[in-house]
Amino acid sequence: MGNVCSISISIDNMISGCWAATGGQATYVCEFEEKFDAVKLALEDLKDFRNDMKRKIDTFEEQRLEQLDQVRRWFSRVEDVETEASQLIKDGTTEIQKLCLGGYCSRNCISSYRLGKKLAKKVEDLNNLRSTRLFDMVADRLPPASVDERPSEPTVGMMSIFNKVWSCLGEEQVGIIGLYGLGGVGKTTLLTQINNEFLKTTHDFDVVIWAVVSRDPDFPKVQDEIGKKVGFCDGIWRNKSKDEKAIDVFRALRKKRFVLLLDDIWEPVNLSVLGVPVPNEENKSKLVFTTRSEDVCRQMEAEKNIKVECLAWQESWDLFQKKVGQDTLDSHAEIPMLAEIVAKECCGLPLALALVIIGRAMACKKTTEEWNYAIKVLQGAASIFPGMGDRVFPILKFSFDSLPSDAIKSCFLYCSLFPEDFNILKENLIDYWIGEGFLHEFDDIDEARNQGHNIIGILLNACLLEKSSRDIIRMHDVVRDMALWIACEHGKVKDEFFVRTRVGLIEAPEFTRWVSAKRIS
């Protein structure tokens, strides 16, 4: 018998060889590594592009722009394709180890073909996602929030008046609410509380709008604030005329239940000029505004006029102790008693003014001598106390500056000649004014007296005087200090008044100090 040669050929190798011989399919095997590298590169490019777009979207969202739905779907698709590509790269790394003949042959051509085909398809998917044209506009402006939260500080002693205002907002027959009171008493703080409360509670209003009017109103700016809340914010709208804006605002607001919060009104505001429908029982909208004058409330035809009162003694004392700090109050046995005297000098003052300013100033004073000095200063010349002359009095002086005539201003300053906490009889005060020549508008004495009563009414409405009874008025201690600051140290009337409080004089003071004064107390 001749020699027999036996050759064993695996059926898989036979099929693989045949498969590799067909041109189209062989490409996926021969170019496997090339496709593998292309997927890795395309995946890296797509990830970089996705990260760039994510940063862009984050910036837009900070500007109150909302991501488009189609862009949101694109990010979702990218996440899916990235996961699929990462798995292919993992599988491809294993498959490359099976390649032979420099990568042109595979020990398992069917497996390499299938994976190579997937790699080629994934490169196409990755490149398509990378080259999308969705990003000509990736975000659109969000509709304005119905309420914008405003920064605020913790408040003291305002809960009862807050509840009163909030209750009025629920009364259908009340459309306009006026909050009035002394400058700095806390009207803006109260209005801020009302604004923020709409974020915490369920209500039926479509939009809550905040705008500041101020002493010298910029009505185009007020219109822009209102327009922004109802969706008008582009450059085209801002460049429209006042009348065109008013028409747009009116069309938008007449379809909504709105709350308009106007802070710091000095003169009546014509709502129609702004384009705001007058809130009433029919449209169920509301207007709440703050002002220093009760007369403005009447001219605005408010159904509810609510006075924002100064803090009561216990509330003032609690706040003052908090600002001074327990460590200082405990530093000497007499300091709590002295602190009460200091607090009473500014009792009733608003949160952001004297109580806080003086309390913080005294927080580091831990000797009785320092506290006694502070009492002497506050009782005699409050304007030199740190923070009073440069922060407290200028705010209160706005009310004085807004008085309609020099005669009324002179009448107000004259009241500071009376002792602190003095009950002033109206008739006596008017007699003094007549004697000083302030009421010279009429020759008839009865007409002059009527003018005097009218001036008292103006000062009461401006919250610069307080009514003790029908016939008696008084001046708040700190308002009196402010008046003396104006009369003795500030403005045109400087040096006309010479007032020394609680100094126990038994002889005339130094001549040069009062020789030029017109009035001495």
User: For position 484, what pLDDT does the model report?
Assistant: 83
- CATH number of the domain enclosing 290: 3.40.50.300
Shared domain for 96 and 182, answered yes or no, is no
User: For position 266, what pLDDT does the model report?
Assistant: 87
Backbone phi and psi for residue 142, each to the nearest 5 degrees, phi listed first: -65, 145
User: For position 21, what pLDDT does the model report?
Assistant: 40
DSSP secondary structure code for residue 136 in this structure:
G
Residue 387 lies in a domain: no
DSSP secondary structure code for residue 388 in this structure:
I
Shared domain for 320 and 271, answered yes or no, is no
Q: How far apart are CA 177 and CA 124, in angstroms?
A: 65
User: For position 438, what pLDDT does the model report?
Assistant: 87
Letter for the amino acid at 406?
A: D
C-beta of residue 285 within 8 angstroms of C-beta of residue 233: no
C-beta of residue 165 within 8 angstroms of C-beta of residue 306: yes
Shared domain for 330 and 365, answered yes or no, is yes
Residue 290 lies in a domain: yes
Q: How far apart are CA 291 and CA 413, in angstroms?
A: 22
Residue 153 lies in a domain: no
> Given the structure tokens 């305002």, which residue do they identify?
158
Q: How far apart are CA 285 and CA 205, in angstroms?
A: 8
Residue 48 lies in a domain: yes
Letter for the amino acid at 299?
A: Q
Question: Can you give the residue range of the structural domain that contains 443?
Answer: 398-520
Q: Is the Cα torsion angle 264, 268, 272, 277 positive or negative in sign?
A: positive
Shared domain for 244 and 349, answered yes or no, is no
Q: What is the pLDDT of residues 293-342, one digit of tens each?
A: 888 999 999 999 999 887 778 888 888 888 888 998 998 899 999 888 88
User: For position 39, what pLDDT does the model report?
Assistant: 75
Intervals of the chain under pLDDT 70: 1-32, 57-69, 92, 94-113, 115-116, 132-144, 154-155, 234, 346-354, 380-392, 395, 398, 489-519, 521
Residue 4 lies in a domain: no
Residue 504 lies in a domain: yes
Total domain count for the chain? 4
Shared domain for 376 and 284, answered yes or no, is no
C-beta of residue 28 within 8 angstroms of C-beta of residue 91: no
- Residue 186, sorted as left (phi over 0), alpha (psi -120 to 50) or beta, turns out to be left
Q: What is the pLDDT of residues 364-404, one digit of tens each?
A: 888 888 888 888 777 766 666 666 666 567 767 767 877 88
Residue 274 lies in a domain: yes
C-beta of residue 488 within 8 angstroms of C-beta of residue 499: yes
Shared domain for 263 and 210, answered yes or no, is yes
Q: How far apart are CA 423 and CA 403, in angstroms?
A: 23
Angle, vertex CA 98, rays to CA 95 and CA 103, nearest 5: 95
Last residue of a domain, one of 247, 278, 307: 307
Shared domain for 126 and 109, answered yes or no, is yes
Shared domain for 452 and 479, answered yes or no, is yes
Shared domain for 180 and 131, answered yes or no, is no
Last residue of a domain, one of 249, 284, 307: 307
Residue 351 lies in a domain: yes
Q: How far apart are CA 440 and CA 81, in angstroms?
A: 90
Give the end-to-end CA distance of the chain in Å, rounded to a whole number.
150
Shared domain for 376 and 407, answered yes or no, is no
Last residue of a domain, one of 250, 275, 307: 307
Shared domain for 61 and 178, answered yes or no, is no
Shared domain for 188 and 234, answered yes or no, is yes
